[in-house]
Amino acid sequence: MRSCVLLLSGWFLSTHSLADNVFKSDYSEQFLDQVAQLREQALSNQLAYELTESLTTEVGARLAGSPGDAKAVAWAEAKFKSLGFDQISLEPVTFEKWTRGEESAEIMAPYPHQLAITALGRTHPTPETGLTGELVHFATLAELEAADPEMVKGKITFISNRMERHKDGSGYGKAVGARGTAAQVTAAKGGIAAIIRSIGTDNNRTPHTGAAKYDKKIPSVPAGAISNPDADLLVNMLSRQQAVSLKLTLTSHFDGQYTSQNVIGDMLGTDQKDQYIVIGCHLDSWDLGTGAIDDASGCGLTMAAAKLIRDHLGPLKKTIRVVLWANEEYGLSGATAYHEAHKHEMNRHILGGESDFGAGRIYGLGTRVGEHALPVIQQISSMLEPLGIEYQNNTSSSGADLIPMRKAGMAVFSLKQDGTKYFDYHHTANDTLDKIDRDELAQNLAAWIVVTAMAANTEQDFGFSLTD
Amino acid sequence: MRSCVLLLSGWFLSTHSLADNVFKSDYSEQFLDQVAQLREQALSNQLAYELTESLTTEVGARLAGSPGDAKAVAWAEAKFKSLGFDQISLEPVTFEKWTRGEESAEIMAPYPHQLAITALGRTHPTPETGLTGELVHFATLAELEAADPEMVKGKITFISNRMERHKDGSGYGKAVGARGTAAQVTAAKGGIAAIIRSIGTDNNRTPHTGAAKYDKKIPSVPAGAISNPDADLLVNMLSRQQAVSLKLTLTSHFDGQYTSQNVIGDMLGTDQKDQYIVIGCHLDSWDLGTGAIDDASGCGLTMAAAKLIRDHLGPLKKTIRVVLWANEEYGLSGATAYHEAHKHEMNRHILGGESDFGAGRIYGLGTRVGEHALPVIQQISSMLEPLGIEYQNNTSSSGADLIPMRKAGMAVFSLKQDGTKYFDYHHTANDTLDKIDRDELAQNLAAWIVVTAMAANTEQDFGFSLTD
């Protein structure tokens, strides 16, 4: 838990005197009434859903570097235009492209079965004809880390740790370490491949992909996630105390450099148009589903919020910048590239928020802002209350694509969604449009409108927090 | 609705005078106490679960005619032996073997997507390189049936009808016609292939296979079911009023004759050992999952019921016959072969029940027995009441494998399971052990023990009903 927010930035102090940090509400009654009205209208507005439907239907899967990536960029540019954004920019994002290949896993003995498996992002390929080895089972990543290399040498490791279901998704952080490092830890101990129980809360034969840690200098091995029912089966089979052998074929591989784009749409402000409220989503997705909850819905929400604000409230003081980030999933490449390109003007990035946790009903607002900005946050929070949203704390972190800017000090907010079901579908073939409830999405839209409009229409800043 | 049961059989009347049909309870108080006691013990007994776990783990998928079929027969014979059944028989069941091949479906235009598809059982193959055609969409099978052949000619038909969710599974009958005849109706109108929305209530990318109607004399075309999220996607895409073209590869085919076995275990009776209470399950499964709810749980339940009855109540008057039927899924071949082999002794088949609707909690007892037997049914029903099971009606039909014997007049019963979730998993890769709740399975076991033991320990018969 982080409990204090530091005000430390050179650039912040150079442009703002401490006196500015005394909060004076500059919202007119008329503006607040208009926001409240638009909030209610949004609850029956379909634009976020229509955009989400359009991206998932007309583009679908859009793994960074794949043909879907280029289609998504074209889709985003065309949508920003048709929605009437004032300014549209494409900014190049270059990364090493990773390509999924064939993937299969077959128990050879004692009881042959085909397992549902998917390669973990950025892991090494097996030979094209596969590799075969005996399984060695660890209940957790920690057990693998503690294991004698002699146990692992020449074998395929299997971590069966089960992710917990929580509304706030907190089971993910506890479980995802296995996905990140099983391949490297296995390699370090002389193992030949690694499989893990999927990092997910479902019981479907739809394995969860996701990025493994990758560093050219650190040895690694082919690695995949098997579906949760298949993990149960393996555990039951292993309990019979007979050697279990597996044939694994995972021919995914790196495939040269690729340049995608961050696609940026601005709704320009009036007297503070060079100050940005940065909202957005990531435009790429994993390749197994159509990336509906991860993260087409985030794109639909933030694009629709900016559009409806402009249509109903007119241009506001600051610019609303919607960034559709490139290659979040296996590189945070768009986030890194944007920060690199804009680091000289971080002080113009006033507040940021990313929607990247599905489309469940929002129950909380979190922030990481300067303490002097908490009164305006309180005012925003009051406007969210009719949506069933309560203020949480000032130690929130928002979406992954904001990490580089947050680390550089940008204030952020987080509209916390009910993630009870999110990890049933996250990174699987099951991430499709039907997982989105129109009413819940519309409640999200209303919340994004409230926070974005109010942040963009105050002359206040939101301070600066140097953390991490 | 059928409301009357006819007493019409020649063989029945020849061996039973009407006077026999006046019900006199022949259960001793001691026996009834023992049944009640065993019923309660069964609620914490794990044998049905252990058998289900064993079949799904050690054999797994067991499509009729596949290597899994032979393994399942060996498993069943060995289990009957180890459980101490008095008499074990294997009876040959010969059928035309159907083999699944490659299966893929790719939207080529206007928006490329890979669809999750599975071939329908017994349908024709596409060329190995696939076939490509424009889709023509029908909301229901009736719409396809009514369509002008000119609309269908040279095209791939798509039926998007959605199955309804009901506790008693009654949505299945309304929807499954599309699976049965879409291929034949499409062929008759000059279409080149057929796809349907899966006959299932889930929203997973796990398409539902199942048998299509097959007759060598009736023209047919390749046919598959796409997953429900993929059907949603197609409907959305088709709503854009652009031609949608699909490339379909389904290389399943018939593959010669195969002889499997009905595996039969008898727990012999005492003074009426030549009269059979026939319970059981089907031993085959579809190939996509491990056939846990369809129908390993039915095997686990009925094998365990017979074993626990013998262990705790000793041999009863009549023989308890557990039949594990071969190739239910695409032929009812085991049922047909058994009836053919035993039709001269149908009068010794006193009452039959099959467990083939998963492992959900049982809420009802249905029967189709002679009216004179209703008092004993009432007594059985009283013994089920503590399990939360109520008597339903005397027009029930039990499992599919009993159809030939029921049509020949054998009395049947049905322990009706809560099927609310059954069609989320039925005939999919998701039919795996984790879908079975141990407590619900144990409640099933208790119910099967009650009905089987009480049916086997009365000298009464259950009459004869000539229907259908």
Residue A152 lies in a domain: yes
DSSP of B53-78: HHIIIII----TTSHHHHHHHHHHHH
Residue B464 lies in a domain: no
Question: Could you tell me if A107 and A94 lie in one domain?
Answer: no
- Determine the pLDDT at residue A465: 53
pLDDT over 60 at B13, yes or no:
no
pLDDT over 50 at B394, yes or no:
yes
Tens digit of pLDDT for each residue in A348-404? Answer: 999 999 999 999 999 999 999 999 999 999 999 999 999 999 999 999 989 999 999
| Binary contact (B429, A116; C-beta < 8 A) | yes
- Determine the pLDDT at residue A25: 77
Sheet of A103-109: strands edge to edge? A113-115, A103-109, A245-250, A131-138, A156-159, A193-197, A223-226, A117-119
Q: Can you tell me the distance from the alpha carbon of A429 to that of A206, in angstroms, rounded to the nearest whole number?
A: 6
Question: Could you tell me if A142 and A287 lie in one domain?
Answer: no
Q: Can you tell me the distance from the alpha carbon of A53 to that of A438, in angstroms, rounded to the nearest whole number?
A: 11
- Determine the pLDDT at residue A24: 61
Amino acid identity of A438? R
Question: Could you tell me if A247 and A269 lie in one domain?
Answer: no
Q: Can you tell me the distance from the alpha carbon of A72 to that of A64, in angstroms, rounded to the nearest whole number?
A: 10
- List the beta bridge partners of residue A98: A254
| Binary contact (B232, A289; C-beta < 8 A) | no
Residue A355 lies in a domain: yes
pLDDT over 70 at B179, yes or no:
yes
Last residue of a domain, one of B205, B229, B251: B251
Question: Could you tell me if B244 and B265 lie in one domain?
Answer: no
Cis peptide before A33 (omega within 30 of 0): no
Question: Could you tell me if A319 and A226 lie in one domain?
Answer: no
| Binary contact (B61, A430; C-beta < 8 A) | no
* CATH code of the domain covering residue B43: 3.40.630.10
Residue B1 lies in a domain: no
Question: Could you tell me if A111 and A224 lie in one domain?
Answer: yes
Question: Could you tell me if A273 and A413 lie in one domain?
Answer: yes
DSSP of A100-133: ---EEEEEEESS-EEEPEEEPBTPPPPPTT-EEE
Tens digit of pLDDT for each residue in B321-344? Answer: 999 999 999 999 999 999 999 999
Residue A49: name the closest of A439, A430, A459, A461 by CA. Answer: A439
Which bin fits A291, alpha (ψ -120 to 50), beta or left (φ > 0)? left
- Determine the pLDDT at residue A460: 87
Question: Could you tell me if A57 and A149 lie in one domain?
Answer: no
**Chain B CB contacts of A55 below 8 Å:** none
- Determine the pLDDT at residue B460: 87
A206 with A428: CB under 8 angstroms? yes
ipTM: 0.93
Tens digit of pLDDT for each residue in B140-160? Answer: 999 999 999 999 999 999 999
Number of domains in chain A: 2
Last residue of a domain, one of B195, B217, B251: B251
Q: Can you tell me the distance from the alpha carbon of A13 to that of A15, in angstroms, rounded to the nearest whole number?
A: 6
pLDDT over 60 at B314, yes or no:
yes
Residue B107 lies in a domain: yes
- Determine the pLDDT at residue B115: 98
Q: Can you tell me the distance from the alpha carbon of B100 to that of B465, in angstroms, rounded to the nearest whole number?
A: 39
Q: What average pLDDT is seen over chain B?
A: 94
Q: Angle at which helices A438-456 and A29-42 pack, to 10 degrees?
A: 160
Query: Hey, CA dihedral for B218, B222, B228, B233, is it positive or negative?
Result: negative
- Spans of chain A, pLDDT less than 50: 1-22, 466-468
Tens digit of pLDDT for each residue in B231-275? Answer: 999 999 999 999 999 999 999 999 999 999 999 999 999 999 999
Q: Which residue has the higher pLDDT, A18 or B37?
A: B37
Mark out the alpha helices in A7-130 (DSSP H runs): 10-15, 29-42, 47-58, 67-82
What's the DSSP call for residue B295?
I
Exposed/middle/buried for B466, CB within 10 Å: 0-12, 13-18, 19+? middle
- Residue B204: which of A57, A114, A430 has the nearest Cβ? A430
Residue A332: name the closest of A400, A264, A263 by CA. Answer: A400
Residue B408 lies in a domain: yes
User: Which residues of chain B have a Cβ shorter than 8 Å from any chain A Cβ?
Assistant: 53, 56-61, 110-114, 116, 203-206, 228-229, 232-233, 236-237, 289-290, 428-430, 432-435
- Determine the pLDDT at residue B463: 86
- List the beta bridge partners of residue A390: A364
Question: Could you tell me if A276 and A381 lie in one domain?
Answer: yes
- Determine the pLDDT at residue A269: 98
Total Cβ atoms within 10 A of residue B146:
9
Residue A131 lies in a domain: yes
Residue A4 lies in a domain: no
| Backbone angles phi and psi of B260, in degrees to 5 | -100, -165
B406 with B462: CB under 8 angstroms? no
| Binary contact (A111, B233; C-beta < 8 A) | no
**Chain A CB contacts of B237 below 8 Å:** 57
Mark out the alpha helices in A314-368 (DSSP H runs): 333-342
State the pTM of this model: 0.93
Question: Could you tell me if A168 and A290 lie in one domain?
Answer: no
User: How far does Cα B311 stand from its chain's mean position?
Assistant: 28
Tens digit of pLDDT for each residue in B272-310? Answer: 999 999 999 999 999 999 999 999 999 999 999 999 999
Which bin fits A311, alpha (ψ -120 to 50), beta or left (φ > 0)? alpha
- Determine the pLDDT at residue B20: 47
Query: From the CA of B462, how many Å to the nearest CA of chain A?
Result: 42
Last residue of a domain, one of A236, A251, A266: A251
The SS3 assignment for A9 reads coil
* CATH code of the domain covering residue A157: 3.50.30.30
Nearest CA in chain A to B62: A113
Amino acid identity of A210? G
Mean pLDDT, residues B103-125 taken together: 97
- Residue A60: which of B56, B113, B290 has the nearest Cβ? B113
Question: Could you tell me if A116 and A235 lie in one domain?
Answer: yes
Tens digit of pLDDT for each residue in B403-447? Answer: 999 999 999 999 999 999 999 999 999 999 999 999 999 999 999
Mean pLDDT, residues B172-182 taken together: 96
Question: Could you tell me if A264 and A407 lie in one domain?
Answer: yes
**Residues contacting B379, CB < 8 A, separation 6+:** B25, B27, B454
* Domain extent at residue A368: 10-98+257-456
